[in-house]
């Protein structure tokens, strides 16, 4: 025999409650009092429930700015948006540094110093700073200026041109270094309010604001046939010198590193782009540890874009000798040598070449589509390529090296 204890208890309570009400109706002298007691009890239970539920509701994170008498004085007259902007800036502006570079060029007139400028973000109190690779690339001397005006010469720890991320380091006192809190860029939404802090035109720790205009954009990289994918598009004002600066959400968390602007005039009246914080979090530990990013090598030297007879993909022209793709059994174009007496002619037979259609079920139509997907993997990872070989679709697993 099974007992439904919940049903049993509810029925008992219901029966007792009904008897209590019936008794009250039959005894008018007591009924009114019982009704009043009942109503008071219901109200008390309801009030307690409301208090309990409110206690369970999470309150938004409050960002406490540095003690600023003027902020406290004007707090009452500031609207909520202004308070949020001020709080974010007060919390995070010390995490942004100004980067000045000097590059020595040799010209007809001798050696010439070419100055450069950008921004950076403090990662930790060990002095590691993240910035854009194009900010410090080929620089002979790098100086970092902190919020208090003190400057330190920096050394390059590592750079990754593929993602345009670099890490530099300074030997500064820990109490002068204010690391930023890193957010999760995978949870961003179009229309979300954002802030950017950087050093446009050398104007230190400038705050601008706007919205996330779009996500998962692709922009050209600094290397040929390499695009940077998953980029955040923003409408906040970005100018020369903002590169490497902070992109923040309204809670003061880093959600990206500002990297570029698409503008016909070169000014801020264009479209801004930022590298997502999750990409930064994935790349910077490798740069700090190894000085470079180790990516899986598939062993394909040359490919050619194909778009004919409804087939779109990349034809393998040349494989790396004894590379991962060759070991997996992929075919490139064949080189045929034909002899005519004392003469010989070399020609390329493309009929034997495999055409890459997908990588891990992702369609491949551009070279940078292919390289971006491979770059996401480490050595010893396995990728599955779907290729067209002599009009037949086959899948081949390749262990990257």
Backbone angles phi, psi at 152, to 5 degrees: -135, 140
Single out the catalytic residue among 164, 249, 354, 369.
Answer: 164
Q: How far apart are CA 96 and CA 130, in angstroms?
A: 10
Helix ranges (H only) for 27-164 are 28-56, 69-74, 80-92, 133-136
Angle at 255 between CA 99 and CA 291, to 5 degrees: 55
Task: Provide the 10 A C-beta neighbour count for residue 57.
Answer: 6
Place of tokens 């949870």: 187
Length of the chain: 401
Task: Provide DSSP, 326-395.
Answer: HHHT---PEEEEEEETTEEEEEEEGGG--EEEEETTEE--SHHHHHHHHHTS-TT-EEEEEEEETTEEEE
Single out the catalytic residue among 243, 249, 354, 368.
Answer: 243
Single out the catalytic residue among 134, 160, 185, 368.
Answer: 134
Does residue 134 have an active-site annotation? Answer: yes
Q: At what angle do helices 5-26 and 28-56 cross, to 10 degrees?
A: 140
Which two tokens mark 326? Answer: 């060759």
Does residue 243 have an active-site annotation? Answer: yes
215, 139, 149: which is closest to 176 by C-alpha? Answer: 149
**Region of residue 308 (phi > 0: left; psi between -120 and 50: alpha; otherwise: beta):** beta
Q: How far apart are CA 124 and CA 84, in angstroms?
A: 25
Catalytic residues, which ones?
134, 164, 243
């Amino acid at each position: 025999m099974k007992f439904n204890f919940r049903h049993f208890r509810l029925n008992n309570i219901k029966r007792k409650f009904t008897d209590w009400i019936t008794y009250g109706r039959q005894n008018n002298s007591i009924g009114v009092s019982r009704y009043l007691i009942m109503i008071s009890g219901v109200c008390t239970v309801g009030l307690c429930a409301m208090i309990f539920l409110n206690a369970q509701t999470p309150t938004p994170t409050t960002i406490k700015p540095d003690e600023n008498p003027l902020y406290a004085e004007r707090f009452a007259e500031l609207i909520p948006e202004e308070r949020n902007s001020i709080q974010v800036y007060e919390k995070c502006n010390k995490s942004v540094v100004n980067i000045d570079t000097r590059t020595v060029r040799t010209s007809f007139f001798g050696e010439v110093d070419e100055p450069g400028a950008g921004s950076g973000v403090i990662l930790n109190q060990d002095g590691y700073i993240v910035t854009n690779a194009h900010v410090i690339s080929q620089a002979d001397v790098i100086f970092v200026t902190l919020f208090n005006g003190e400057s330190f010469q920096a050394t390059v720890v590592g750079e990754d041109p593929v993602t345009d991320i670099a890490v530099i380091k300074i030997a500064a006192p820990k109490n002068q270094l204010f690391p930023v809190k890193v957010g999760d860029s995978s949870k961003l939404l179009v229309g979300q309010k954002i802030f950017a802090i950087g050093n446009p035109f050398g104007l230190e720790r400038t705050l601008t604001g706007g919205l996330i205009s779009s996500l998962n954009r692709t922009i050209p990289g600094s290397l040929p046939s390499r695009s940077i994918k998953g980029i955040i598009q923003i409408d906040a004002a970005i100018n020369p010198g903002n590169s490497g600066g902070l992109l923040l959400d309204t809670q003061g968390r880093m959600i990206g590193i500002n990297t570029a602007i698409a503008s016909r005039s070169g000014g801020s009246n264009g479209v801004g782009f930022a590298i997502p914080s999750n990409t930064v979090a994935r790349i910077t530990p490798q740069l700090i540890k190894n000085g470079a990013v180790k990516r899986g090598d598939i062993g394909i030297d040359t490919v050619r874009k194909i778009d004919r007879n409804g087939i779109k993909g990349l034809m393998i022209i040349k494989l790396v000798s004894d590379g991962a793709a060759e070991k997996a059994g992929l075919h490139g174009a064949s080189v045929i040598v034909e002899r005519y007496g004392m003469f010989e002619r070399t020609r390329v037979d493309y009929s034997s070449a495999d055409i890459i259609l997908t990588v891990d079920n992702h369609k491949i139509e551009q070279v940078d589509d292919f390289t971006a997907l491979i770059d996401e993997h480490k050595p010893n990872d396995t990728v599955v390529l779907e290729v067209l070989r002599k009009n037949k679709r086959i899948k081949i697993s390749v262990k990257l090296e």
